[in-house]
C-alpha cells in the first residue's frame, strides 16, 4: 500500500522548499506542492522514495528523467528548476503551472471554442514533434497535463528516461482528440470543423496515414479559417 507522503507535512526541504501537500504519488515517487522560500514562488517537488535508493535502476531512471525534462522545458512546457539531493534521496524541483488543468474544467462542465482547442492542439503537436526530433521518451498525455492560462496553454513536462516509442506522438494526439471532443462548445464558430478533425484522428487505424505533421497541417488550416472569419 502506498503511503500518503514520504514526509510529515509541512516539511522544509534543503532549507529552500516548503512542502505543503501531496499532489500525486506512484510506487516510486511522491509529487508535492511546495513553495520556494527565497523567490516566494509556487513549485512542485518530485521525490524518489528513500527506499528506492537501494535500487540502482530506479535511481538511474529518476536521474535520467530529470535530465530529459531539463532539456524539454520551455515556453509551452514546464521547466525544471533543479535536481537536488537531500534527506538521503533525490528530488526534482519544477515550476508549478498556475492555470487549472483541463480535466478539472471538464468535470466542472466547462466548454471551449474551436479556436481555443485548435491552439491547444497546435501546441501539443509541436511539443510532440520536438520530442520526436530529440528522441526523448514521454509519458502519455491526458487533459490533466494541459493547463489553461486564460490567454493560452502550458503543458506538464512529460519527458522521461528511455528510448522514444515512435508511436508516442500519435498516441498523445489521439488521447487529446478523444478527451477534447466532449468539451467542444457547439455554439462557437468552426465547432463542426474541429469535431470532424477529431473524429478523423480517432477513426484512423493506420498511423502512417495520419502523421503528427498531417495533424498539424489540419489544425493550421482550421486556424487560418478561424482567423479569416
For the chain, domain boundaries: 11-95, 102-228
What is the residue-level pLDDT of the chain in tens, covering all 229 positions? 455 578 899 999 999 999 999 999 999 999 999 999 999 999 999 999 999 999 999 999 999 999 999 999 999 999 999 999 999 999 999 999 989 999 999 999 999 999 999 999 999 999 999 999 999 999 999 999 999 988 889 999 999 999 999 999 999 999 999 999 999 999 999 999 999 999 999 986 554 457 899 999 999 999 999 999 7
Q: Does this chain's domain 11-95 share its CATH topology with 102-228? A: no
Q: Write the burial class of residue 61 (CB in 10 Å: 0-12 exposed, 13-18 middle, 19+ buried).
A: middle
Q: Which residues contact 104 (CB under 8 A, 6 or more apart)?
A: 144
Question: Rounded to the nearest 5°, which phi and psi values hold at 82?
Answer: -170, 160
Q: What is the mean pLDDT of the chain?
A: 93
- CATH (one of 1.20.120, 3.40.630, 1.10.510, 1.20.58) for 102-228: 1.10.510
First to last CA, the chain: 55
Residue 207 has what pLDDT? 47
C-alpha of 30 from chain center: 17
pTM, two decimals, is: 0.91
Q: Which CATH superfamily is domain 11-95 in?
A: Phosphorylase Kinase; domain 1 (3.30.200.20)
What residues have CB less than 8 Å from 89, skipping those under 6 apart? 6, 47, 48, 49, 50, 52, 53
The pairing of strands 29-36 and 153-155 is unpaired
Cβ(130)–Cβ(67) under 8 Å? no
Express each pLDDT in 40-89 by its tens digit: 999 999 999 999 999 999 999 999 999 999 999 999 999 999 999 999 99
Amino acid at each position: 500500500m502506498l503511503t500518503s507522503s514520504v514526509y510529515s507535512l509541512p516539511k522544509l526541504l534543503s532549507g529552500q522548499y516548503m512542502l505543503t501537500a501531496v499532489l500525486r504519488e506512484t510506487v516510486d515517487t511522491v509529487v508535492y506542492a511546495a513553495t520556494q522560500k527565497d523567490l516566494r514562488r509556487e513549485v512542485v517537488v518530485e521525490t524518489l522514495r528513500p527506499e528506492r535508493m537501494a535500487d540502482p535502476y530506479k535511481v538511474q531512471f529518476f536521474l535520467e528523467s530529470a535530465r530529459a525534462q531539463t532539456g524539454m522545458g520551455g515556453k509551452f512546457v514546464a521547466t525544471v528548476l533543479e535536481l537536488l539531493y537531500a534527506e538521503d534521496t533525490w528530488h526534482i524541483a519544477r515550476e508549478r503551472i498556475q492555470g487549472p488543468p483541463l480535466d478539472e474544467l471538464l468535470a466542472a462542465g466547462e466548454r471551449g471554442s474551436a479556436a481555443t482547442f485548435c491552439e491547444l492542439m497546435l501546441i501539443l503537436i509541436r511539443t510532440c514533434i520536438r520530442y520526436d526530433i530529440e528522441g526523448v521518451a514521454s509519458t502519455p498525455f491526458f487533459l490533466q497535463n494541459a493547463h489553461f492560462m486564460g490567454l493560452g496553454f502550458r503543458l506538464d513536462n512529460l519527458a522521461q528516461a528511455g528510448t522514444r516509442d515512435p508511436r508516442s506522438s500519435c498516441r498523445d494526439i489521439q488521447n487529446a482528440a478523444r478527451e477534447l471532443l466532449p468539451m467542444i462548445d457547439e455554439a462557437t464558430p468552426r465547432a463542426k470543423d474541429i469535431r470532424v478533425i477529431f473524429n478523423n484522428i480517432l477513426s484512423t487505424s493506420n498511423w502512417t496515414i495520419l502523421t503528427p505533421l498531417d495533424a498539424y497541417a489540419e489544425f493550421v488550416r482550421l486556424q487560418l479559417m478561424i482567423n479569416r472569419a
